[in-house]
Structure 1
Amino acid sequence: MGNSLRCCLACMLPCGALDVVRVVHLSGHVDEFSCPLAAGDVLAAHPNHALTDAWSAGASRKIVILSPDSELKRGRIYFLIPPPRAPRRPPPR
């Protein structure tokens, strides 16, 4: 059973897909990194952005912003997005 699962994954995933960190830009451009990487390394090259990943939303559907010291894991896809804005408060009465 283990061999058949490995064969199926090999057919669906391109070679090395689990060996890199992918960062997707809003434009659709994808950066791939094969070395260990922290979120701060990506954010230093892209000021005024935030970094999130596909797994952070989970069932709650809330986007979780990664801290700059978060380690980016190989095989995962991260998204470079504009920083979230604070919710607007109604004017005082």
Structure 2
Amino acid sequence: LRDDYGFDGVVMTDDLSGMASITDRMTPAQAATRALVAGVDMVLFADADVPALVDALAAAVADGRLTEARVDEAVGRTLALKGVDPCAVDPDR
């Protein structure tokens, strides 16, 4: 999407917790990690353990599967969509 078509907007998933093709094969944490690595900016789950998702994403950054730059891109696009200047946000929050 980004490479082939030059799309630079926010990419988000549908509700992954309701997709058997996802939930039958992996945990929500694995799905979220794979989605962000693939270029998704916002992963949607109607029913998920958010702290476990955050822990999994932090682990993916720690072990190199997900780069901090990729996380920064996703956060920046999401904040811009919300009308928040990404530069005005405290990165330690």
Task: Please give the TM-score of this superposition, normalised by the length of structure 2.
Answer: 0.28
Q: Which has the higher contact order (CA 8 A, sep 6+)?
A: 1
Structure number with larger C-alpha Rg: 1
Task: Please give the TM-score of this superposition, normalised by the length of structure 1.
Answer: 0.28
**Structure that is richer in strand per residue:** 1
**Structure that is richer in helix per residue:** 2
